[in-house]
Structure 1
Amino acid sequence: MKTFVSAEKAVCADEQDLSVLRAFVEDELMIRPSLGDQFRVGFFSADHSSQTDSSEIIEIKEMTNVMRILGKAFNSLRKDFLMYKNIIKGEYEENIEKHVSNLWRHINETAQSIEANHKKKLTMIRESFRQQLADAIAVIKTQYEGFYSEKINAFITSEAQNTFSMKLQTMLNKIREKELTIKSLEAQMVEHQNEALRRFQLMLGEEEMDTETIKEENSQYRQQIDKLQIKIIALEDAVKRKDNTIEKLDTDMVNVKKKLDKDQTTIVMLTAAYEKLTNDFTKEREAAINMNIKHKKEMEIQMALSEKQDKQAAYSHMWVTSSMEPWDG
């Protein structure tokens, strides 16, 4: 300001010219637009507060207005873009949540269906094999408790075998004794017949023997012979009955042994079936455990991917928000 006043004094010779110059400068300043409230324009171009020519002021003002309008339009577009971005982001997050929810529900329903089917199948298999085993055990129990119990108790234990052997030996001894008795009786019968024949011949040779005495002796001999024949027949019948009894006992023993072997085979088959059932159940249980572990791993991977996508979306939102912050000036 001091420089401006000294320049006016240097140009103007007196106070009147100085007042005229000041009035001219003030009029010029009122007509010419200023770049700011505090700006002043000197008489010379070097004294101006800026080097902008007066002819450029209007263009600068128009350009300033255009820039102001563009700035407002840009701010409006930026607000619209942020709003559109938030709407798209909300719709995208909603779609992701909906898709994740549907996927999670579908996986849970599938896993529950598989688990239910597996449990149902295991239950059916267990009931089937349990029923088969119970039926087989009941059949064996009935057979043992019914017809075979006495036979098995008679022939399985060593005591029973010894008793049976002793009885058989006793019966054989009795049969041998009866055979010896039969042979002895037959020999006696032959001897009596020979004796009777000899006596008969002697009596025929003796004329003085009475006929009645001979008849009585013959009658006695015949009675003795009949008694001996009856004893022989009874003994033969007893021997036959003993032989039939022994054959029947042998047949029963063979049948019991066969049925015991058959029952033993059935028990072995049932044991093998039970072991197979146990192995199948173990394998199915391991398969179910592996399937559950696999589903858990898949769910963990899916959740990890979902969390990673959420984090990436959050980082993208933070970056876009930071990049779209409104300018200050």
Structure 2
Amino acid sequence: MAELDLIRELNIYSSEEDDLRNNVLALESYRVVGDESLRPSLAEQRKVGFFRLDRPTQTEVTEIVDLQEMTEVLQTLLQDVNILKREIHTARGLMLADFESKLQKKALELYCRINSRVDELEKMHADRVGVIRRAFRQQLSDALSNVASIFDKNYQNKMNSDQKKKNAKADKLEAKIRELQGVIQRNDMVIEMLKTQLAQYSKQAAEEEEESRPPTKSPSINPELDDLRENVFNLENKVSELEKALDTKTDLAANLSDEVDGITKKLEQEKRVTRQLQEELENLRENSEQEMAEARRMIEQQRIEMEQEMNEKTKQARDEVLSMARSEAAAMADSEGKKVMKLMEEKKKLEEQLAKERALVAELSKKKAEPVVEKKEEKVITDVDKIILSEQKWRVMVAKMKKELEKTHKMWEKKFAILQHSLHALKDESFLRQTLQKQAATLHHAAVSYATDTPLAILPTRPPNSPTKKPLPEIPSRAKSPANGLIDDENQVMSDDDQGLPPGVVPLPTPPARNLTDCADDSRPSTRTHVVMIPSVEAQ
């Protein structure tokens, strides 16, 4: 508004200046061409009009005085116009300078306000970011602990079942290996026995051949030789068959030994894999424990920092209050002590003066004969009475000051008692804040819920009679769902109860009650998300 007023005033002054300039030009148009000042002359030229030719006229004698007066008036008017020009110019400069200074002040004030608001917004944003970071850290630690507990449970069960299967397979393989080793040993024994029999048969055949070799050939011995030859041939065939069987048995034993080696290698690989998995599981457990310990350490560090900050603030406030109270008490005590000292000094002076006056009265009472002395004695008596009255007044004043001093002492005692009570209240409040800050921040998950008035499908009026169908043993039976078949918390990530949480994790507090009047707009599906305001630490 002030700026608009200044602009209006400047416009008014500029219009007035233009009018004055036009008037001056109109006045100067009456001057003689080539003359700088108006001088009366007989050959004065006058302007007849603006829209026709100018004609010079002869000045009459009676018009000279009027012309002189007109010239003087015009000269004074021109001087006034010049003065007004200068004043208007200076006023305009002053108004422009004032306007610029006010504009700079307003701009500086607006700049400071914008900077302060930006700083407040940055602080608010930093606080909200810190709160959200702490909230997500808490959620991450809870999720990690939950995942670690579920992983430990399920992985341990899986490891146990796999270990049982591997142990059963290993037992079967060991039994098979033992059986094959027994078969190999039996086959080795059979081979050894056949080798001994073959050696015996060959030895027998050689002995029989030497014995049956006659010195001379006779036709009666030929059939026996043929029989022996047939027996030898049969034995050789049998030996070749036994050798073939022995080769097949050795091949089978080599194949079995290869299979045993492969099975042992597989067992070693499986053992190595199980060891690696166990090491990974141990590493995961250690990492989860380290993360949980780090989260607990950070929470404890934040709690200690908040406690230290609150203790420092309470200590500062207490020290400031105590220092102020002590300084005020010392000042009051000094002033009261100075007053009492002044009163005591005045009392001593009055007592000394009273003693002197009494001594004078005693001396004057001895001299009763002289009349002049009697007059002086009367004066002294009156002075003594005045001194006694003043002494009584001073005593009353001293008593009054003592009462005021006692009153101030009592007042300061009461103030100190109030300060002690307030310090106790501050300690209680700091303790309550510390206990509240130990709890986790209340966080709400924003979810989109859809609700309709009518069911989404044709629902049976009675539950189906199927006694054969039973719920799974690990899935608990649920209660009846509402008519629309929807659940409010279907988009919830974690369970509402605190089951499955590891030891040492603080459970989240219960969420506040929601105002249902805000959400009861229509029965149509609502796609609006519920905006959850996360409380800041300062608000707590």
Taking structure 1 as the reference length, the TM-score comes to: 0.45
| Structure with max Cα Rg | 1
With structure 2 as the length reference, what TM-score do the two structures score? Answer: 0.30
Instruction: Considering fraction of residues, name the structure with more helix.
Output: 1
